[in-house]
Chains A and B, each alone.
Chain A
Amino acid sequence: MSLLELNEVKVHFPVKRGVFFDRTVGHVYAVDGVSLTIEAGQTYGLVGESGCGKTTLGRAVLRLNEITSGEVVFDGTDLAALPDEEMRRSRRRLQMVFQDPLGSLNPRQNIESILAEGMAAHGIGANRTERRAKIVEVLERVGLPADALSRYPHEFSGGQRQRIGIARALVLEPDLIICDEPVSALDVSIQAQVINLLEELQESMGLTYLVIAHDLAVVRHISDVIGVMYLGALVEEAPSDLLYAEPRHPYTRALMSAVPVPDPEVEDNRERILLRGDLPSPANPPTGCRFHTRCPWRQAERCDTERPVLTELADGHRVACHYAAEIADGTIQPVRELAERIIPEGESVAVSEKADTGE
C-alpha cells in the first residue's frame, strides 16, 4: 500500500481587499487538483518553476495550509478530514525540512530545546534525560557533535543548520519527511553533504521523502519518481531516469533543455528549446491547458479550452498533454513564435520563421 496518496488536492488562497472588512475578490489557485502517490521507502521529487505551488502542496500535506478540497490519505487516513487535535498528533509521523535553514530555527532556542520541543508535544520520552539521550543519538546520526546541544542556531554554519533541521524531524521518528528545497539555500560545495546525508538516512531508517526542489539535477539525483508541476498542477510524472531520458510534456522538455550543465562540451553541443514569455499568474490561470500560452507545440482549439488530465503513457509515465504521443513521434512540429530553438554553432533561428517558411 502506498504511504501517501493525494487525491485531487486543491489549495486556493483567497485574495483579500479592504481595510476594515476583508472582502474576497478572487483566488490564487496555488494548487489546483493534484493527485499523486508515494510508496513507502520511496523518494518523490517535485520540480517546477517558482510560484507553481510546490511549497503549498508540501504544506498542504501537513495541513499547514488549509486544504480547499481533495483528500490527503496518509497510511489509510484522510488527513484533510481529521479534527485539529488528531491532526496535530498525526504530525509526528509526517515531518518537514525547510528551505531556509536559519529562518526555520527559532533564534532564541538552543538546539536541545529545538529538538525536544516536538518530543514534548508528542509525549516521546518520559523525562528530560530520556529525551536528551535520544537527541544525542539523533545528533550523532546527522553528524553533529553532542556539545551542540546547548548552542544556538546562529553559531552553526549553513550546512550544519540544515542538519539541525533534519534532526528535528528525525527525533520524532517520522515515516514521511517533506523536504522543501532542502539545499537551495546552501552553497554548491555544501549541497552535496546534505544530499548525501538525506540519502544515507533514508537507507538506514527506511524513510519516505517528498523532495521539493527547483534544481532538476538535485531532484534527479535523489528521487525515484519525479513529478513536474506547472501552475498548480502536475504536468508529468515518471520514474526519474525515464523522465530524463524521455521527457514527454512540452514544458518538461523545455525545462530540461534550459538547465545549464557544468560541462562546456555539453553546453556547446546541445540543442535547446527557449520558451518565450513568462509564467502566467496563478490568480488568473489560462483556460484549457495551463501551458498553452507558452507551448511551442500548441494546437488550436483543444489546447485552449480543454484541460488535459494526467494519463499514463507507459509504465508509470503519466503526462497531462493532449498531444504527448504526437509530439513524441514527431507528427506535430513546434510552431508559432512561442519558442526559439538554439542550435549549436551559434546559429539561432526563430522556430516561427522556420515553421512559416516551411508551410
Chain B
Amino acid sequence: MSTKTDKIDRLAALTAQRETTTGGSLWVEAFRRLRSSKMALIGVAIMALFVVIALIGPWIAPHNPTSQLWRDEVFTNRGEFVGPRGENWLGLDHLGRDQLSRMLVGARQTLLVGVISTVLGFVVGALIGGVSGAALAFGGRAGQRLDTVLMRFIDMMLAMPSLLLAVSIAAVMGQSLTTVMIAVGVVQVPIFARLLRGSMLSQANADYVLAARALGVRRRRVVMGHVLPNSLGPVIVQSTLALATAIIEAAALSYLGLGNPDAAQPEWGVMLAQAERFFDEAPFMAICPALGIIVTALGFTLLGESMREALDPKLRS
C-alpha cells in the first residue's frame, strides 16, 4: 500500500513541478519577455527615475527655482553665463536662477503636462473610438451611420497638421497650462480613437464575444464587459508612446510661445525654448532640459515599444 501511495505522491510531485515550468498566460509571458528585454529595462529605469524626480523634486531642490538668487552675478558679467559649479551643479539660467532646482521642480510640470494631456487624449479618443466601434459592430444600420460620421470627423482631425490644431486651440482658449494640455491632448484623440475602434472591430468577431451573445448577455454588457477590456491592450501601449510625444509637443508649443504662461514656473519645454536664444553662449542651459526631455521621451518610447513587441504574439521566439 505504501509503495502505491509513494508512487502516486512521486508522480504528483513530478507532474506539479512540470506544471510550474510550462504554460503561463499571455500576460505572464509578455511580462517575462518584457523583463528580459534590454529596451524595456532601460525604459522602465528611465521612467521610474523621472517619476521619482517629479514626485520628490520640489523637496530635494537645493534652491528656490523661481527666485533669481544669482541675478546680480549673471547680469554683471553680461554674456558670461555661469556654468556648472559647486553651488549650482547645472549652472545658472539667464536670470540667475539655479538650473538644477529648475530641472528638479520642472519635472513635475512636465510629467503633469504629459500625463494629463495623454489621459485627455486617451479618454476622449477612446470614447469616440469606443462608441464608433461599438456602433459599427453592434448597432446595425443606425450604428453604421453613426460610425461613419464619427470616423469622418476623426479623418478631418487627422488631416489637420497636428501643430496647427494645437496652435489654433491655444489661440481660442487663451494661454494657460490647461490649454497646453488640451491642445496636446486633442492632437492625440484621433490616434486613440482609430486604434480603439480598430481593435474593437477585430475583437467584435472573436469567439468569446459571440459566445457571450449566444448566452443572451445584453449588448451593452457585451461591449463593456468583453469587447472593450480586451481591446484596450494596444491603446494602453500607445499611451506610453503618446506620453513621450505629448512632452515633446508641449515643448514645441512653449517654443512657439504658447506654453505655460507662468514663465517663472519651471517646465522643461519652456526652459528649452528659453535657452535656445543663448545656445551659443550657454549651451548647458539648453542641454539640461533638452536631455531631460529627450531621455524621458526615450524612456517612455522604449517601454512602449517593447511592450508592443512583448504583447505581439507574432513576434514570440
Report which A residues bind B (CB closer than 8 A).
Answer: 20, 59, 62, 64, 88-92, 94-96, 98-100, 103-108, 117-118, 121-122, 152, 154-155, 165, 168, 172
Contacts and interface: CB of A to CB of B under 8 A. Distances in A.
Contacts of A95: 214-215
6 contacts: A64-B214, A121-B218, A122-B216, A154-B26, A165-B211, A172-B215
Given A103-B206, A172-B216, 18 more contacts: A59-B210, A64-B214, A91-B214, A95-B214, A96-B214, A98-B207, A103-B208, A104-B208, A107-B26, A108-B230, A117-B212, A118-B217, A121-B215, A121-B216, A121-B217, A154-B26, A168-B211, A168-B215
Contacts of B226: 106
Nearest to B230: A108
A104 B215 CA distance: 12
Contacts of B23: 154-155
Nearest to A101: B207
Contacts of B208: 103-107
Contact of B215 (A20, A90, A118): A118
Given A98-B207, A98-B211, A100-B207, A107 B25 contact: yes
B213 interface: yes
Given A103-B206, A121-B221, A96 B211 contact: yes
Nearest to B210: A64
Closest 6 CB pairs of A and B: A91-B216, A118-B215, A104-B207, A103-B207, A154-B25, A96-B214
B216 A105 contact: no
B212 A106 contact: yes
B230 A104 contact: no
A51 B132 CA distance: 31
Contacts of A121: 215-218, 221
Contacts of A90: 216
Contacts of B25: 107, 152, 154-155
Contact of B216 (A89, A106, A107, A152): A89
Contacts of B24: 154
A215 to B, nearest CB: 19
A333 B230 CA distance: 57
Interface residues of B, number: 22
Contacts of B214: 62, 64, 91, 94-96
B264 to A, nearest CB: 47
A165 B208 CA distance: 10
B207 A108 contact: no
Nearest to B215: A118
B310 to A, nearest CB: 16
Interface string B204-246: 0011101111111110010001100110000000000000000
A231 to B, nearest CB: 23
Contacts of A154: 23-26
A194 B225 CA distance: 29
A62 B218 CA distance: 14
Contacts of A168: 211, 215
A59 to B, nearest CB: 8
B215 A91 contact: yes
A105 B211 CA distance: 8
A90 B215 CA distance: 10
Contacts of A172: 215-216
B211 A104 contact: yes
Contacts of A103: 206-208
A192 B212 CA distance: 27
Contacts of B206: 103
B60 to A, nearest CB: 40
Nearest to B214: A96
Interface string B15-59: 000000001111000000000000000000000000000000000
Nearest to A65: B210
Contacts of B212: 106, 117
Nearest to A98: B207
A100 B206 CA distance: 10
B215 A106 contact: no
Nearest to B152: A20
Nearest to A66: B140
B230 A92 contact: no
A94 B25 CA distance: 31
A107 B230 contact: yes
A155 B208 CA distance: 17
Identify which of A90, A99, A106 gathers the most chain B CB atoms within 10 Å of its CB. Answer: A106
A106 B230 contact: yes
Contacts of A107: 25-26, 208, 230
A106 B221 CA distance: 13
Contacts of B207: 98-100, 103-104
A325 to B, nearest CB: 41
Nearest to B209: A106
A20 B149 CA distance: 11
Contact of B229 (A99, A108, A165): A108
Nearest to A91: B216
A90 B211 CA distance: 15
A64 B215 contact: no
Nearest to A118: B215
A165 B207 CA distance: 11
Nearest to B217: A121
Contact of A98 (B148, B210, B229): B210
A154 B24 CA distance: 7
Contacts of B213: 64
Nearest to B212: A117
Most chain A CB atoms below 10 A, which of B23, B26, B208, B230 = B208
Contacts of A91: 214-216
A107 B212 CA distance: 13
Contacts of A165: 211
A104 to B, nearest CB: 4
A92 B214 CA distance: 9
A172 B211 CA distance: 13
A105 B212 CA distance: 9
Nearest to A87: B216
A229 B225 CA distance: 36
